[in-house]
Amino acid sequence: MDVGKAAGRNIILIGFSATGKTRVGSEVARRLGWRLADTDNHIVELAGKPIDRIFAEDGEPRFREYEKAALKEACNHARTVIACGGGVVVDPANRELMSNSGIVILLKARPETIYNRLTSNTGDEVRPLLAGDDPMQNIRSLKKKRQALYDEVSDWMVCTDNLTIEEVCDEVIRGWHYGIRCKDNIFSANIDANGLSAMVVTSGGAYPVSVGYGVLDSLGTKLKDAGLSGSVSIISDDNVYKIYGKRVEKIIKDAGYEVGSYIVPAGEQSKSLDAVVKIYDWMVERRVERGSAVVALGGGVIGDLAGFVAATYLRGLPLVHVPTSLLAMVDASIGGKVAVDHAQGKNLIGSFYQPRLVLSDVETLKSLPKRELISGWAELIKHALILDADLFEFLDSQSQKLVKLDRGAIVEAVARSAVIKAGVVSLDEKEMGLRTILNYGHTITHGLETASGYDTFLHGEAVSIGMMGAAVISQRLGLIAGEVVKKQKAVLQKYGLPIDCRDIDSADVLKATALDKKVKGKKVRWVLLKEIGKTVIRDDVPDDLVLDVIKDLVNS
C-alpha cells in the first residue's frame, strides 16, 4: 500500500488561536504512536526568532512564506499529527496541500472562550489579538473572517469549549476515522516497516490496536503505557498456552507484574457459563482485585470467554487482547463483543465491553494449524467485500504470498483489515447502524453452527459458506450480477475455504436463523451485497428464497 497516497496518513489540526491545537496534537500523537509537527515551532526554527518579532521586523507576508515552508515540510511525512497556526488557511495553496495530505480537523471555540484562554496564558509572548482597546472585537472580527476558510478545508469539527483535553482527543481520533471513510470509502491503514497502530474510540473508551511482526515482547511496555497496574490474570487454552504461555508470563513478570494463568480446553465447548464460574472461583482464590488486568491469550473463543469474565467480575476488570489466530486479529479482538454460548444459540449471553489494548503479533500465525489459518481468511475477505474493493483485489492478486505468510504481505493484509474493523467500531460501538454490515454472511453462519451443535465447523469455515449464501441471495434479489458471486467464490477457494457443506438439515439451519442476534421486530435483517465494497441491509427476504439457498449450500 502506498502510504504517501493514503488519505488518512496524517491528522492536520486547524483552528483559531487558543483552541488547543498544540496540546491536543501532542496527546493524539502520543496515543497513536505518531510524530508531532507544530508549524509555529518550525517557523521559529526557520526564522531564528520568535513569531512576534517576525511580524514586527519582517511583516506578515514573510511570516506566511515561513508558514508555507513549515507546512510543506510537515506534510511530506506520514503518521504525523500536524498542529497548524490559526492563519494557515488564508493561502489557497495551503488549503489544497492539507486536503491532499491527511484528514483536516477543525478545533472550534466561542470568542469568549478564546479570550479567556488568551488572557490566562499570555506568558512572555505578545498577543496581537489582545492589543488595542477592544480585544474581544479583534477576536470576533478575525474569527468571522477566517471561518469560511476553516469550514471549506475541514473534514471534521470539534467544539472544545466545554471538553477536557482527553475528550477533545477522543473526538479528533473519531473524526480521523470518519474522514478516512468519507475520502476513500475505506478505512485506510497507515502502515510502515513496524506495522500499524490504530485507535478505536468509543463511549466505552479509547484503545490502541497494534499490528506488527515480532512485537509480542513489547506486551509488558504496552501494559504500562495503558496505565495498568496490579496483578495480571492470563486466560488461555491448552493449545496456545503450550506454545506461548510461559513466554508471555515472563514478559509480563519482567515488566513488574504478578501473573497467574488459567487454562481451559481448546474449542467452542469452553465458551460456557460453567467455564466462567470455574474461572470466577480461581480469581476469588487468587484474590484478584478491581483494576487487575485480564489478558486474553489465544483465538476468538478465548477472547470471548476472557472478555466475558473481565466484563462481569467485580463489575469489570481491564481487558487486554493478545490474539494468536488470524480470525481474532482482524475481528474478534477488536470491538468489545464478549459472550458465551447457550444451547439455543451462539453468543446469546454477552455484552459490549471494550478492551484497554489489542496487540497482534502476526509472527504467531506460523504456529497455527493449517485449518485454523485457512478459517481466518474468511474474515479478511469479508471486510474487503463489505467495505474495501481495493483490499479485495489485494487479497485476490497476492493470494500465493499470503497463504505462505509472506512477512510484508501478511502484515499489510492484517493491518488493513484490522483498521476496517477499528473504524467501523469507532463509528458504531453498539451495532445500531454501520456496524451491522460486519454481519455479512453471519445469519446463515450462525444457523449452520447452531444446527451442527458448534462442533462441525470452525467459525471462518461457516462464515465462508454463509457469505456464499448471502451473495446468492443478493443475486436472486437483483442486487448484484452473477459475475460478482463468481469472483467471491473464486477468492474464497484460493484460500482453501469451503463454499458449501453436507449432512446438515436445511430446516434446522433456517430455524436457527430466526434466533439470530440480527433479528429485529421478528424480521431477519440480512446484510447483502450491492457490489464488491458496498452493502445494503434488507428485512424483506422471503423465507422460501432463503430455504432454497440453504438447501443448495448444504446439499440436502
- pLDDT tens digits along 4-29: 334 457 999 999 988 999 999 999 99
Taking residues 524-547, report their average pLDDT.
90
The ranges assigned to domains in the chain are 3-184, 196-415, 440-554
Among 399, 269, 417, CA closest to 331: 417
Give the pLDDT band (50/70/90) at residue 432: low
Catalytic, out of 421, 487, 517, 518: 421
Give the range among 37-41, 369-373, 499-503 with minimum mean pLDDT. Answer: 499-503
Q: Is 442 a catalytic residue?
A: yes
Among 382, 553, 538, 388, CA closest to 474: 538
- The pLDDT assigned to 185 comes to 42
CATH 3.40.640.10 fits 440-554, yes or no: no
Using DSSP's 3-state secondary structure scheme, residue 294 falls into strand
Q: Is 116 a catalytic residue?
A: no
Taking residues 262-269, report their average pLDDT.
94
- The pLDDT assigned to 135 comes to 77
- The pLDDT assigned to 186 comes to 41
- The pLDDT assigned to 151 comes to 84
Among 221, 217, 247, 218, CA closest to 234: 247
Catalytic, out of 162, 285, 287, 315: 315
- The pLDDT assigned to 502 comes to 85
Q: Is 439 a catalytic residue?
A: yes
- The pLDDT assigned to 201 comes to 74
- The pLDDT assigned to 429 comes to 76
Q: Is 476 a catalytic residue?
A: no
Catalytic, out of 446, 487, 517, 518: 446
Catalytic, out of 27, 67, 268, 379: 379
Q: 440 to each of 216, 371, 445, 469, how far by Cα in Å? A: 31, 22, 9, 10
Q: Which three cell numbers stand for residue 464?
A: 465462508
Neighbour tally for 230: CB within 10 Å: 15
- The pLDDT assigned to 188 comes to 45
462 versus 419: which is more confidently predicted?
Answer: 462
Is the pLDDT confidence value at 237 over 50? yes
- The pLDDT assigned to 1 comes to 27
CATH assignment, 196-415: 3.40.50.1970
Q: Is 337 a catalytic residue?
A: yes
Q: Is 379 a catalytic residue?
A: yes
130 versus 465: which is more confidently predicted?
Answer: 465
Q: Is 42 a catalytic residue?
A: no
Give the range among 135-139, 372-376, 476-480 with minimum mean pLDDT. Answer: 135-139
- Confirm if 494 and 486 have CB atoms less than 8 A apart: no
Q: Is 249 a catalytic residue?
A: no
Using DSSP's 3-state secondary structure scheme, residue 468 falls into helix
Average pLDDT of the residues of the chain: 88
CATH assignment, 3-184: 3.40.50.300
Helical residues (DSSP H) of 452-481, grouped into ranges: 459-476
Per CATH, 3-184 and 196-415 having the same topology is answered: yes
Catalytic, out of 337, 356, 382, 416: 337
Give the pLDDT band (50/70/90) at residue 143: confident
Is the pLDDT confidence value at 521 over 60? no
Q: Is 372 a catalytic residue?
A: no
Catalytic, out of 21, 435, 517, 518: 435
- The pLDDT assigned to 179 comes to 67
Is the pLDDT confidence value at 154 over 60? yes
- Confirm if 381 and 492 have CB atoms less than 8 A apart: yes
Q: 203 to each of 306, 358, 372, 435, how far by Cα in Å? A: 21, 17, 33, 15
132 versus 381: which is more confidently predicted?
Answer: 381
- The pLDDT assigned to 180 comes to 62
Task: Report CA dihedral (367, 371, 372, 376) to the nearest 10 degrees.
Answer: 120
Is the pLDDT confidence value at 403 over 90? yes
Catalytic, out of 431, 487, 517, 518: 431
Catalytic, out of 10, 190, 347, 439: 439
Taking residues 133-158, report their average pLDDT.
85
Is the pLDDT confidence value at 467 over 60? yes
Is the pLDDT confidence value at 48 over 70? yes
Taking residues 420-426, report their average pLDDT.
84
Q: Is 404 a catalytic residue?
A: no
Give the pLDDT band (50/70/90) at residue 181: low
- The pLDDT assigned to 196 comes to 63
